[in-house]
């Protein structure tokens, strides 16, 4: 994990969509009640950093690339199908829409996927490489499905890797923010167990699993 001054960084928000607010569709319980608050903290910090950099340098060369990945399922019974709606505060809204706290700003690219990986059928990999991104900070839903798959593929595809002047491979950094991700109960396993086991499986093999305060202090501090 490096500071934004030392490594060109992208914040990747995965599937922070209104369909996941359905009270029963995804499971009997959900992990990480602080997830939304932590995503908000990280998103606001990245935007604040970008605003400051723009004011200081007048450009975007050293800003954080804020990328939103949204799931549009091909299955009509999915709560993330483009036709699906969900009732929120008595109003029907499109379930694929981003949750209000994670609504993209006009300058922030959106990548639409229909499988677990954010890199299949999207331009995300090409975009990150075109921006010379050397560090990913990953947050979102759900830990064991799209977050895990995206994290694994980011590592395997070496999307933040580069070859040094001496010909050595610098693999860059993939940072997964555990308390800014969440998942649901699966089978006989409660949501927190599913969440923690999947984070443990990813840590030090595919990514550095850290918490929000680690990122605020070491990446944006």
Q: What are phi and psi of 205, to 5 degrees?
A: -110, -45
pLDDT by 10s per residue, the chain, length 221: 999 999 999 999 999 999 999 988 999 999 999 999 999 999 999 999 999 998 887 666 789 999 999 999 999 999 999 999 999 999 999 999 999 999 999 999 999 999 999 999 999 999 999 999 999 999 999 999 999 999 999 999 999 999 988 999 999 999 999 999 999 999 999 999 999 999 999 999 999 999 999 999 999 98
**What is the pLDDT, as a whole number, of residue 164?**
87
**Structure tokens belonging to residue 201:** 């499986």
Report if pTM > 0.95: yes
DSSP letter, residue 186: B
Question: The tokens 């759900």 sit on which residue?
Answer: 142
Residue 105 in contact with residue 47, Cβ under 8 Å?
yes
- The number of beta carbons lying within 10 Å of the beta carbon of residue 205 is 11
Handedness of CA 151, 156, 159, 164 (dihedral sign): positive
User: Whole-angstrom Cα distance, residue 74 to residue 53?
Assistant: 40
User: Whole-angstrom Cα distance, residue 67 to residue 64?
Assistant: 9
**What is the pLDDT, as a whole number, of residue 5?**
94
- The DSSP H or E segment spanning 69 is strand 65-71
SS3 label, residue 185: coil
């Amino acid at each position: 994990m490096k500071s934004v001054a030392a490594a060109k960084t992208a914040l990747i928000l995965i599937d922070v969509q209104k369909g996941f607010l359905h009270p029963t569709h995804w499971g009997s319980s959900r992990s990480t009640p602080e997830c939304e608050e932590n995503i908000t903290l990280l998103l606001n910090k990245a935007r604040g950093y970008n605003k400051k950099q723009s004011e200081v340098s007048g450009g975007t060369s050293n800003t954080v690339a804020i990328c939103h990945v949204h799931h549009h399922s091909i299955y009509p019974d999915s709560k993330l199908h483009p036709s699906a709606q969900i009732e929120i505060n008595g109003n029907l809204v499109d379930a694929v829409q981003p949750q209000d706290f994670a609504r993209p700003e006009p300058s922030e690219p959106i990548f639409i996927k229909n499988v677990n990986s954010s890199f299949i059928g999207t331009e995300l990999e090409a975009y990150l490489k075109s921006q010379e991104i050397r560090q990913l900070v990953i947050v979102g839903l759900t830990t064991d499905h799209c977050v895990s798959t995206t994290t694994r593929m980011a590592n395997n595809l070496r999307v933040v890797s580069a070859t040094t002047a001496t010909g050595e491979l610098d693999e860059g950094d993939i940072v997964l923010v555990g308390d800014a991700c969440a998942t649901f109960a699966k089978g006989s396993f409660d949501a927190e167990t599913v969440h923690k086991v999947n984070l443990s499986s990813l840590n030090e093999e595919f990514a550095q699993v850290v918490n929000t305060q680690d990122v605020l202090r070491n990446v944006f501090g």
